Amino acid sequence: MDRVRDLVASGGISVVLAQDRDRFAREPAYHYLLRREFEEHNCKLKALNDRGDDSPEGELTDGILDQLAKYERAKIAERTRRGKLRKSREGKIVATMKPPYGFSYNSARDGLVVNEQEMAVVEKVFRLAADGLGTSAIQSRLYHENISSPKGKRGWQKSFIKRLVMSDIYRPHTCEEMADLVSVEVATRLDPAKEYGIRWWNRISQKVRQISESAENGQRRYRRRTATTRRNREEWVAVPVPAYLPRWLVERARDLMAAQRAPERKHLVRQWELRGLIRCSCGVLMGTHTTTANEKPYHYYKCFRRSDYKRGICEQKSLQAEKAEAAI
């Protein structure tokens, strides 16, 4: 649709035709705005199931079709959400595009099984976190050991590492603990000798809306923005999944990860003469970095790509601030 709008704006398009009216939009207000936008460029918006013409009676008929399309979309969304809730309350997994890291879907795609290869990486992350390493140190270890991220890239995101450690899907729960979170029917199917992780469902509510912004070529660019809100704890639905890691390891890693805080910002009184001006030989802007040894601060200019695990590591060493400023 964005491409069609650009073609119409460029001129030379007399009509845009679709199979059904709801292919343009299922929201009557959007359909109206789209039609007015095309009319400014002498272009008509038509569908094969149009029942009216340009008369007031024809517009009324088409407006009724638009309202029916909006109602149909709302009913489909309601039925889909209700069906997923029922499935999760039955103790079944609601499959998404990719399973959680460390797991695979079963043949029916309603349950999770342990993926041994990925779970070995998950266990490594938890052991590093249990040794007191933070997200940056874990990210560096995984990068230098050539362990690919879930997206197949060499660099891991620090936010993903923290979510992985803090996720309940890897924390083992006893059968008695799970029985307090699931229905009686689901609890009777659990093995008392086993432990289970929790795959939460219905934790968040998402609303998607489209926004437009100016592009470099003077045209409009359209993208979707998602607003996420967390539901009340009583609305969450717990689905049991196989547990793999020892509980003591998970709890120690979570405790240390939660206790870590950002380093205290010191030495901000220093006047960085080259802040925002100095660039690395690779072309990337260099930032400021301060470290402390024996209670004495040392100031450096450091390439931003020095720790950029997405675009590749820059091998340029940090420059001592005093020497760099004096030389330049």
pLDDT per residue over 225-238, tens digit each?
Answer: 888 888 898 899 99
Cα atoms in the Cβ-side hemisphere of radius 13 Å centred on 162: 13
Task: Tell whether 104 and 212 lie within a shared domain.
Answer: yes
Enclosing domain of residue 301: 262-328
Task: Tell whether 250 and 113 lie within a shared domain.
Answer: yes
- Percent of the chain's residues with pLDDT above 70: 92
Q: Long-range CB contacts (< 8 A, 24+ apart) of 116-125? A: 118/150, 119/244, 119/245, 121/147, 122/164, 122/170, 122/244, 122/245, 123/244, 123/245, 123/249, 125/161, 125/164, 125/165
Instruction: Say if pTM beats, i.e. exceeds, 0.85.
Output: no
Task: Tell whether 255 and 289 lie within a shared domain.
Answer: no
Please, what is the Cα angle at 274 between 272 and 277, to 5 degrees? 140
Q: How many domains, in total, are found in the chain?
A: 3
pLDDT for res 9:
87
Task: Tell whether 73 and 102 lie within a shared domain.
Answer: no
Residue 242 CA, chain-centre distance (Å), reads 24
* pLDDT band at residue 292 using 50, 70 and 90 as cut-offs: confident
pLDDT for res 220:
67
Tens digit of each residue's pLDDT (9 = 90 or more) over 65-119: 777 777 887 788 788 888 888 999 999 999 888 999 999 999 999 999 999 999 9
Tens digit of each residue's pLDDT (9 = 90 or more) over 147-198: 989 988 878 888 999 999 999 999 999 999 999 999 999 999 999 999 999 9
Task: Tell whether 277 and 242 lie within a shared domain.
Answer: no
pLDDT for res 16:
94
Task: Tell whether 119 and 195 lie within a shared domain.
Answer: yes
> What tokens does 62 get?
């088409």
Task: Tell whether 131 and 11 lie within a shared domain.
Answer: no
- The residue out of 40, 70, 88 marking a domain boundary is 88
Task: Tell whether 249 and 274 lie within a shared domain.
Answer: no
Task: Tell whether 318 and 240 lie within a shared domain.
Answer: no
Distance CA 201, CA 240 (A): 11
- The residue out of 259, 292, 307 marking a domain boundary is 259
Task: Tell whether 238 and 159 lie within a shared domain.
Answer: yes
pLDDT for res 1:
82
Task: Tell whether 234 and 307 lie within a shared domain.
Answer: no
What CATH number did the domain enclosing 67 receive? 3.40.50.1390
Tens digit of each residue's pLDDT (9 = 90 or more) over 188-228: 999 999 999 999 998 888 887 777 777 666 666 677 788 88
Task: Tell whether 45 and 10 lie within a shared domain.
Answer: yes
- The residue out of 201, 230, 259 marking a domain boundary is 259
Q: How far is CA 275 from CA 282, 283, 287, 291, 325, in A?
A: 17, 15, 7, 17, 10
Distance CA 152, CA 150 (A): 5
